[in-house]
Structure 1
Amino acid sequence: MKHRALTAGVALALTAAATTPALAGSTGTPGSTGTPGSTGTSGAAHGAAPLSAPVSGAVYFRHGGGGIEVLAHRGGRTSRLKAGGGAFAGQFAVAPGGRRVAWIDDRNRLRVTPASGSGPDKVIARNAAYGGPCLTPAWTADGRRIAYPVKGTAGTTAVAVVGADGRGRSDAGRTLGVCHLTWSADGRTLAGYTGDTNGVHLLDTRSRTSKHVPGVKRAGHVESLSPDARRVVINAIGADAPGGDGSWPLSFTPSIRDTGTGAKIAVPVRGRLLGARYLDDGRLAVRVRGTSANTIVILSRSGREVQRMTEPAGVRNLGLLGVIG
């Protein structure tokens, strides 16, 4: 997007995910061919769920009331959390488990809304870029840090990282791919798209260097990055599809790309796919449309189906933000 040219609120067109190389084991260095899985440091090292934990719930969202409502389903129970308000532009991200929301207000403040009833919003940064729905913050897998685009930058955009408590702010580098930032579970790499023909970029927050993912000219959303940053889930869009500053899509046809080669990775799941995202241990959760209720299919790192979970019927048309181990 290069957020100096916004078309706020545009719902980006969906395209079919191409499927060429099949899933296979993932080893070696970033950029090798194979599965969308990962052998890098998992989220378990950051206090996430055990590697073998079955998926037991999911986190969803919908727009309304000048903000968003987040619904977390776990153990047969539903919790709700509302965030936003005022001149809310849709710049939000939900923490793992759905218990907190980070969002950017019209005063360039990055705010964190805690679990309902546990206290007021907390302002944790005051220099965030405001005004474009895709300029969203991003939580690390352990829920301790948040990355966000910095205001007042042109060309490549500066990205900062701050603790969820507002402490320890640091500069992560600059990147063209600042739309819908998402972390790798090892806490090192951010992926985002530009909103134009410059496609998807990876930002290494240790070296503060950014690189373009080859073979991806246009993307309308970056959904998820594998734990080792070797695979990225995107909404790949065609030349005639609307670009610009897209809001979070409720659903999209996922395309998985090798971030080193740009190769398209097959998703071995039948049906109408509504999205896909990596778990912290490298498994892949794929959402599939159903007649009365959708299904979440969990694939192992080798591409083998290991679990199916039927979603509640009431969330069939809501956006999926994450799954809960």
Structure 2
Amino acid sequence: MKRTALALAITAIARLAVLPSAAVATTATTTGSTGTAPKPLAGVAVYWSWDKGHPISRYEPGKGFTKLGNATDAFQFSVSPDGTKLAWITWGGKLHVRTGGKEKVVAKGAAGGFPCATPVWSPDSAYLAYPSDSDVDASPLMIVKADGTGARKAGVPRGVCHLAWSADGRHLAGYTGETDGVYIFDLKTGKSVRAKGIRLANHVQSLSPDGRRVVVRTLSPTEPGGDGLWPGGFTPTVVDTVTGKWVPIPVKGTKVGAFYLPDGRLVVRVLGRTHNTLVVLDSAGRELQRLAEPARVRNQGLLQIVS
């Protein structure tokens, strides 16, 4: 994906009305696959808005919203799994990290100017991986600590757009700059394997803890690839990357995203008339819990589920 081959036009999206906050309700209905009930999801999450400046905020029930920063014009940003750190890449290829009120450039030479080439945080929120140079589909993937130390090359994976990092710390998944497939990169072996069952895709949102199942936005042959921006919401597809089978998501309603938790539960975001709902499923697809998101974030993108 050369810089000259990537369309960087940003689609203008109308600002949507903000509605009053909704109360958060949780209900544990079944136990997890291990036979013991997992700790209920608290509803702490990070969202980003199309409003002026594209603010990114962490929401915590009972405490409200805390602004973490703003999305950059390059739209290459991500939030750490613990919901406290914001990372972004500038047009000039500098990787920034903001924690609280402190901001630092932790690396240079990143692939700047590619909206889909977002940095990704490690499961422990201690490291960042990012594509380097100007040809992101053929350049080394770099890994650096959040303080800017310990930079190293991790290999040259295929598919580094909207990378997701598995909870086991070993696997990264991303789609190619041409949207022609999703690849799983093994940090231990340094090899990329094309995910079966995915012909076209333009977003990877999450990866199961073992790296086998991936949450993606698939495309039909006639759909445009888009400009590589984070989607505010999309119909998620869960794919077993080894067998190529699409895994059913047994949740009714209009689904607009899904995330894997470190313990293997799947959280499905469902669109609502006044507020969205997060539905938590165990590994067998049984419903464990429902949480109502604040109405304020109904039309915002969900970047991270913290706890």
Class of the TM-score when normalised by the shorter of the 2 chains:
0.7 to 0.9
Following TM superposition, by how much is the alpha carbon of 1:245 offset from its aligned partner in structure 2, in angstroms?
A: 3.8
Q: Deviations over 1:208-247 (max 9, x none)?
A: 1111112211101000000100100000011111115410
**TM-score normalized by the length of structure 2:** 0.86
1:54 aligns with: 40
Q: CA RMSD in A?
A: 2.1
1:225 aligns with: 207
Alignment pair present for 1:295 and 2:280: no
Out of 75, 81, 84, the position equivalent to 1:99 is: 84
2:67 aligns with: 80
Q: Could you tell me which amino acid in structure 2 is paired with residue 82 of structure 1?
A: G
> Cα–Cα, structure 1 residues 76 and 227, in superposed 2: closer, same or farther, change >3 Å?
same
Does the CA-based 8 Å contact 1:10-1:244 persist in structure 2? no
Matches within 5 A, 1:201-216: 201-216=183-198
> Cα–Cα, structure 1 residues 60 and 166, in superposed 2: closer, same or farther, change >3 Å?
same
- Between the aligned residues of both structures, percent identity stands at 46
1:249 aligns with: 231
CA–CA distance in structure 2, aligned partners of residues 150 and 95 of structure 1:
20
Give the secondary-structure state (helix, strand or coil) at the position aligned to 2:49: strand
The alignment of Structure 1 onto Structure 2 pairs a total of residues equal to: 283
Following TM superposition, by how much is the alpha carbon of 1:311 offset from its aligned partner in structure 2, in angstroms?
A: 0.6
Q: Could you tell me which amino acid in structure 1 is paired with residue 89 of structure 2?
A: I
Alignment pair present for 1:8 and 2:12: no
**TM-score normalized by the length of structure 1:** 0.82
Asked which structure has the greater RCO (Cα within 8 Å, sep 6+), the reply is: 1
Out of 129, 149, 152, the position equivalent to 2:131 is: 149
Q: Structure 1: which 4+ aligned runs deviate by more than 6 Å?
A: none
Stretches of structure 1 that go unaligned for 5 or more consecutive residues are: 12-36, 40-50
CA–CA distance in structure 2, aligned partners of residues 38 and 186 of structure 1:
18
CA–CA distance in structure 1, aligned partners of residues 269 and 136 of structure 2:
36
CA–CA distance in structure 2, aligned partners of residues 322 and 270 of structure 1:
22
CA–CA distance in structure 2, aligned partners of residues 105 and 154 of structure 1:
15
Matches within 5 A, 1:55-204: 55-57=41-43, 58-66=45-53, 68-77=54-63, 78-85=65-72, 88-115=73-100, 118-119=101-102, 121-153=103-135, 155-196=137-178, 198-204=180-186
Q: Could you tell me which amino acid in structure 2 is paired with residue 107 of structure 1?
A: G
CA–CA distance in structure 2, aligned partners of residues 106 and 38 of structure 1:
45
Q: Could you tell me which amino acid in structure 1 is paired with residue 6 of structure 2?
A: L
> Cα–Cα, structure 1 residues 54 and 158, in superposed 2: closer, same or farther, change >3 Å?
same
